[in-house]
Amino acid sequence: MLLIDIKDGETIDKALRRYKKKFEKSGTLKSIRRRKTFIKPSVVRRVELQKAAYRTVILAELEK
C-alpha cells in the first residue's frame, strides 16, 4: 500500500499528483495487467526474440 505524507500547506491536488507518480513508478497496475492472463513462457521468449530482431533491423537501417 502506498502512503503519501501531506506536507503543511500542501494542496490535495499536489498530494494526489505525487501519489499518482509514486503509483506509476511502483508498477502495480502493470503487474496486475500482466497477471490477468497466462502467457506461456515459449510465447514470451518468441515475442522477445521478435522484438530484438526488429530492433536490430531498425538500427541497421539507421546506420546506413
What range defines the domain where residue 20 resides? 12-63
What pLDDT score was predicted for residue 55? Answer: 96
pLDDT for residue 11 is more than 90: yes
Does 5 map to a domain? no
Q: How many domains does the chain have?
A: 1
CA distance readout (Å), 42 to 2, 4, 45, 48? 34, 40, 5, 10
The x, y and z cell numbers of residue 40, run together, are: 506461456
Does 1 map to a domain? no
The confidence band for 64, taking pLDDT boundaries of 50, 70 and 90, is: confident
Quickly tell me which residue has 494526489 as its cell. 16
pLDDT for residue 1 is more than 90: no
What pLDDT score was predicted for residue 63? Answer: 87
Does 3 map to a domain? no
pLDDT for residue 26 is more than 90: yes
Does 17 map to a domain? yes
Average model confidence (pLDDT) for the chain?
Answer: 93
